[in-house]
Chain A
C-alpha cells in the first residue's frame, strides 16, 4: 500500500496550503481591520468561482489520463449556459428542464467529439479544436449577441434543494470529485482509462475496449463542462455567448498542476480540482496586492511551469531510487 505522503494529491494539498498561508501573511491587515483575504465570505467567493473551472477540470483530467486532450470545455460551458439561459428566461421553461436541456447540449458536444476521434480518427487536438469552434459559434447564433439575466428571474433568497444558491456549485464540485475519484481508482472503467493512456497498443491487445474508453471519456468531459456551464448561468446569473473565453487552457492547467501527465496514464481527479483551487486563490488574491494587477497572468504562467517542473524532478528521483 502506498503511504499517505507518497500520494500525489497530498503534495497538491500542500501547495494549496502554502499558497493560502502566504497570502494570509502577505495581505495581513494593519490596525485591526478585518482580513481582506482570509475570511469566510472570501473563501466562499473563491470556491464559487473555482468550481466552474474545477467541475470541468475533472473531465479534463480524465481525458488527459486517457492520453487525449480536450480544448472544447470553455465553449461547451458557454453553449450549455446559453441554452439553459434562453429556455429559462425567454421560453419560461422550468429551471429543471432548462438545466436538463443544457446537459443534453453537453451530451451532443461529447458525442460529436467522440465520433470525430473514434470513428473519423481525427487527433483529439484537432477534433476538440473543431468542436470548440462549433459550440462557441452555436452559442453566438442562439443569443444573437444578447445577454440573459438568469438570476433576475429567480426569486431572492432562492434555495436549490434547500441549499443557498452560492453553495450549490462548490458542493457539486466536491461531490463530483469524490464520485469520479472512486470511479477512476476503484472501478473497471477507470482502470481501463489508465490502461489506454499508459499503452494504447497493449490495451488493444489485452482486450480493453479502447473505442468505448475514448467515447466515454469525451462524453463525460463534455457533460461535466455542460454542468459547470449551467452552474455559471444559474448560480452566477449569466447566460451569454462570450462566457468562459479561454477557460479551456486554465482547465487543462488545473488538471496538469494536479498531477495529470499530458503523455497519458497518470493523473488524479481530486488533484485537478485542487489545481483549480490553486488558480482560484491566485486569481482572487493577486488583484488585492497593490501594483500586481498587470502581473497576475505572468505569475499564473510561472506557477504552472514551476509546479510541473518540480513534479517531474520528484518523479524522476522516485524512479531512479526504485
Chain B
C-alpha cells in the first residue's frame, strides 16, 4: 500500500498555477526523490503534504485513506515530518525545547516534563551522532545543526514518513555525508523518505525512485536502476540544454574592466583574486555559504572588507584603485551595480509604482532631479524594451509575476548603463520563459561592453551563460573552468 498518494492535485496562487493535475504515489519504506527546476512545484507539493497548504482540487491519501490536513500539527500526528528548506529553529530556546516545540511532553495542565524530554533528546542526538548538549542554546550552534534538529524533531514524534526539502543547500560536504548516513539508517529501519532536491548525485545515491516535475506538472516517475542522469535532466528541463550562443572571444582583447587582488573579508571569503574584461560574463558558482553573495556585497560596500584591492577601469581608461566602494551609491556612480538576490527584500519597493521603482536608482546615482515627463517616458521605454507585462507604469510590483518583477529589478539598474554588472541569482524563482529572456538581456548588456560577474546556484544556467566559471568553496576560489567544454560534474567536484 502506498504511504502517500497524490491524486490529481491542483494548486494555484492567484493567476499562477503551481501544480496542475499531479498524480503519483510513494510506497511505504522507499526513498522517493522529487526533482525539478526552480518553480516546478516541488515545495508546494511538500507544503500540501505537511498540512501548510490545501490543494484546490484533488486528493491527498495517507496510508490509502483520503485526508484533509488542518495544519502542521495534524500532519505530525499522522506520522509525517517535514524538514524545511529554511532554517526553522528557535534560536532563543535550547536544543531540547527546539526538538519538542509545539508538541511538548506534558503532565497535567501542561506542566513540562523537562527531564523526560531531556533524556529523549539525548537519545535522539546520540542516534543522529550529534555531539551537542540537550541544554545548549540553539543560537550558539552551527547553522547546519538547525537542519539536523528538524530531523531529530521528526524522529521524536515517531514519524514514519520523513520529507526533506533541499536539505543540503547550506551544508558542507562533511555535514552532507553525516545527513546521508542518518538517512540510510532511517531507511533501513523502514522509514519512508521523500527527498526533494535538484542535486542529482544525491538523489541517485539515496533514492529508489525519482519523480520529475516540470512547470507544475508530473512528468515521469523513474526507478533508479533503469534510468540515467541525462534522462532525469531531460525530464526536468523538458528540452535538451540549448547549445551555447556563439559569442566573440572577449578574452582576446586582454583588457580588464574589474580586477580584485587578495580581496578578503574574514570570515566570509579570503584572498579572492579575479579579473573580468569588458563584455565578458564570468560565472561564480558555489554552494550556499561559500561566500559568493558576501563577495558581491563587499565590492559595493554593503559589508566591510579587511584587505585587498579593487580596481575598476573608468570611462577614461583610468584604473581606479581602492579597497572597496564606500556604499552602493558610490559604486553606482562609478558604474558598478549589484542586482541583489532577494527581490522581495532587497530589490523592489512594493509601496511605489513601477515608474518610481525603475527611475529611482539611476536618478540617485546621477544626482538627477526627477522630472515627471522624462520619468514617464523612460519608464515606458523600459517596460517596452524589456517586455515587462504590466497594466501601466503606475502599477505596483506586487501586481507582477515573479519573472516580471525580476526584470524590473534588473532594468532599474541597467538604465544607468553600468560598466560592471554584479548579478546575484538573477533568475531565482522565475519561470522558464522569463529566465531565457533574462539571459538574453544579460548577453545584450555584455555585448554592450559591461563586465558581468554572475553568482548562480543553477549550474545549467552558469554553463549556458558564462564565458568561464570560477568555483568558490568555503570562502576561496577553488578553480576556474572555461565554460566551453565544462561539464556539470567537474564544476560540482570543485564546489563540494
Contacting chain A: which of B57-65, B134-142, B286-294?
Answer: B134-142
* Contact A187/B93 with A202-B88, A205-B84 known, Cβ cut-off 8 Å: no
Add 16 more A-B contacts to A188-B104, A188-B106 (CB < 8 A): A186-B111, A189-B110, A192-B102, A195-B93, A195-B102, A202-B88, A202-B101, A205-B50, A205-B84, A205-B88, A206-B72, A206-B103, A207-B73, A207-B76, A208-B102, A265-B93
Is there an interface contact between A195 and B90, defined as CB atoms closer than 8 Å?
yes
Q: Mark A180-209, 1 if CB is under 8 A from B, else 0.
A: 000000111101101101110111111111
A136 beta carbon closer than 8 Å to chain B: no
Q: Are B135 and A201 in touch, CB under 8 angstroms? A: no
Asked whether any CB of chain B lies closer than 8 Å to the CB of A91, the reply is no
Those 10 A-B pairs whose CB atoms lie nearest each other, nearest first: A207-B73, A206-B102, A265-B92, A188-B110, A322-B140, A202-B88, A198-B92, A207-B102, A198-B90, A208-B102
B97 on interface, CB distance cutoff 8 Å: yes
State how many angstroms separate the Cβ of A145 from the closest Cβ of chain B: 43
In whole angstroms, what is the CA distance A209 to B93 when docked?
Answer: 17
Q: Tell me, yes or no, whether A121 is within 8 Å of chain B by CB.
A: no
Chain B, residues 89-110, CB within 8 Å of chain A (1/0): the string is 1111100010001111010011
Question: How far, in whole Å, are A194 and B71 apart by their CA atoms in the complex?
Answer: 21
Q: Which residues of B contact A186 (CB under 8 A)?
A: 111-112, 114
Chain A residues with Cβ below 8 Å from B109 are 187
**Bound CA span A187–B110, Å:** 5
**Complex: how many Å from CA A175 to CA B110?**
20
Q: Which residues of chain A have C-beta atoms less than 8 A from B90's C-beta?
A: 194-195, 198-199, 202-203, 265
A1 at the interface (CB under 8 A from B): yes
- CB contacts (< 8 Å) of B153 on chain A: these are 206
Which A residues from 275 to 322 make CB contacts under 8 A with B?
319, 322
Complexed CA–CA distance, A322 and B91 (Å)? 13
Contact A203 B102 (CB under 8 A): yes
- Is A48 positioned at the interface, with any CB of B under 8 Å from its CB? no
Whether, in the assembled complex, A266 has its beta carbon less than 8 Å from a beta carbon of chain B, the answer is yes
Residues of A within 8 A of B89 (CB): 199, 202
- B52 contacts A by Cβ under 8 Å: yes
Contacts of B43-58 to chain A: CB distance below 8 A: 50, 52
A198: chain B residues at CB < 8 Å are 90-93
Which residues of A lie under 8 Å from residue B86 when comparing CB positions?
A: 201
Cα A319 to Cα B139 in complex, Å, equals 8
Q: A187-B109, A188-B110, A191-B97 are in contact. Are A207 and B103 (CB under 8 A)?
A: yes
Query: Using an 8 Å CB-CB cutoff, how does the interface string of B414-450 with A read, 1 for contact, 0 for none?
Result: 0000000000000000000000000000000000000
Q: Which residues of A contact B (CB under 8 A)?
A: 1, 186-189, 191-192, 194-195, 197-199, 201-209, 265-266, 319, 322
Q: Judging by beta carbons under 8 Å apart, are A208 and B101 in contact?
A: yes
Contacts of A206 in B (CB 8 A): 72, 88, 101-103, 153
Report the minimal beta-carbon distance from A30 to chain B, rounded to whole angstroms.
50
User: Assuming A194-B93, A208-B101, A208-B102, is B88 touching A199 (CB within 8 A)?
Assistant: yes
Across-interface contacts of B74 in A (CB, < 8 A): 207
Number of residue pairs across A and B with beta carbons under 8 Å?
Answer: 80
**Given A205-B52, A206-B102: A187 touches B91 (CB 8 Å cut-off):** no
- Contact (Cβ within 8 A) B112 A207: no
Asked whether B72 lies within 8 Å of A191 as measured between CB atoms, the reply is no
Q: What is the CB-to-nearest-CB distance from B300 to chain A, in angstroms, rounded to a whole number?
A: 27
Asked if B92 and A204 sit within 8 Å, CB to CB, the answer is no
Q: Is the CB of B97 within 8 A of A207?
A: no
CB neighbours of A187 from chain B (8 A): 106, 109-112
- How distant is A149 from chain B, measured CB to nearest CB, in Å? 41
Query: Is B112 a contact of A188 with CB atoms below 8 Å?
Result: yes
| Chain A residues within an 8 Å CB radius of B114 | 186
Residues on B with C-beta less than 8 A from A202 are 88-90, 101
Give Cα A87–Cα B19 distance, bound, in whole angstroms.
Answer: 62
| Nearest-neighbor residue (CB-CB) of B157 within chain A | A207
Whether the Cβ atoms of B104 and A207 lie closer than 8 Å is no
Q: How far is the CA of A266 from the CA of B97 in the complex (A)?
A: 14
User: A266 and B137: CB pair below 8 A?
Assistant: no
Identify the B interface with A (CB < 8 A): 50, 52, 71-74, 76, 82, 84, 86, 88-93, 97, 101-104, 106, 109-112, 114, 135, 137, 139-140, 153
Which residues of A lie under 8 Å from residue B102 when comparing CB positions?
Answer: 192, 195, 203, 206-208
Question: Who on chain A is nearest to B76 by CB?
Answer: A207
Question: Are A191 and B104 touching (Cβ within 8 A)?
Answer: yes
With the chains together, A1 CA to B91 CA distance in Å?
A: 18
Q: How far, in angstroms, from A194 to B90 measured CA to CA in the complex?
A: 9
Bound-state CA distance A126–B205 (Å) is: 53
CA distance A208 to B110 in the complex (A): 13
A252 to chain B, nearest CB (A): 19
Can you list 11 A-B pairs with a CB-CB distance of less than 8 A?
Answer: A186-B112, A187-B109, A195-B102, A197-B92, A201-B88, A205-B72, A205-B82, A205-B88, A207-B102, A207-B103, A265-B93
CB-defined contacts of A266 to chain B, threshold 8 Å: 92
How many whole Å from B116's CB to the nearest CB in chain A?
13
For B76, B86, B92, the residue with the greatest tally of chain A CB atoms inside 10 Å of its CB is B92
Complexed CA–CA distance, A302 and B101 (Å): 38
Q: Which residues of A contact B76 (CB under 8 A)?
A: 207
> For B110, what are the chain A residues with a Cβ–Cβ distance below 8 Å?
187-189
Which chain B residues border A194 with CB–CB below 8 Å?
A: 90, 92-93, 97
Chain B residues, CB < 8 A from A188: 104, 106, 110-112
Determine if A322 and B137 form an interchain contact, defined as CB atoms under 8 angstroms apart: yes
Q: How far is the CA of A265 from the CA of B88 in the complex (A)?
A: 15
Chain B residues within an 8 Å CB radius of A199: 88-91
Please measure, in the bound complex, the distance between the C-alpha atom of A194 and the C-alpha atom of B97, giving whole angstroms.
Answer: 10
**Bound state CA distance, A295 and B52, in angstroms?**
55
Shortest A255–chain B CB gap in Å is 16
- Closest Cβ of chain A to B111, distance in Å, is 6
A213 to chain B, nearest CB (A): 11
Find chain A residues with CB under 8 A from B88 CB.
199, 201-202, 205-206
CA A194 to CA B138, docked complex, whole Å? 13
Complex contacts, B103 vs chain A, CB 8 Å: 206-207
Shortest beta-carbon distance from A209 to chain B in Å = 8
- B93 close to A207 (CB less than 8 A): no
How far is B72's CA from A194's CA once the two chains are assembled, in angstroms?
19
Task: List, in ascending order, chain B residues with CB within 8 A of A191's CB.
Answer: 93, 97, 101, 104, 112
Closest to A2 in B: B135
CA distance A191 to B84 in the complex (A): 22
Give chain B residues whose Cβ lies under 8 Å from the Cβ of A319: 139-140
How far in angstroms is the closest Cβ of chain B from A244?
31
Tell me the bound Cα distance from A319 to B92 in angstroms.
12
Q: B101 touches which one: A189, A203, A322 (CB < 8 A)? A: A203
A3 to chain B, nearest CB (A): 12
Which of A186, A205, A209, A319 counts the most chain B CB atoms within 10 A? A205
B137's nearest neighbour on chain A, judged by CB, is A322
Question: What is the CA–CA distance of A26 and B71 in the complex, to the nearest angstrom?
Answer: 60
Bound-complex Cα distance A3 to B490 (A): 52
Are the C-beta atoms of A204 and B93 separated by less than 8 Å? Answer: no
Q: Which of B50, B72, B101 has the most CB of A within 10 A?
A: B101
Docked CA distance A55–B111 (Å): 23
Nearest CB in chain A: distance from B49 CB, A: 13
Whole-angstrom distance between the alpha carbons of A223 and B109 in the complex? 20
Of B72, B106, B139, the contact of A207 (CB 8 Å cutoff): B72
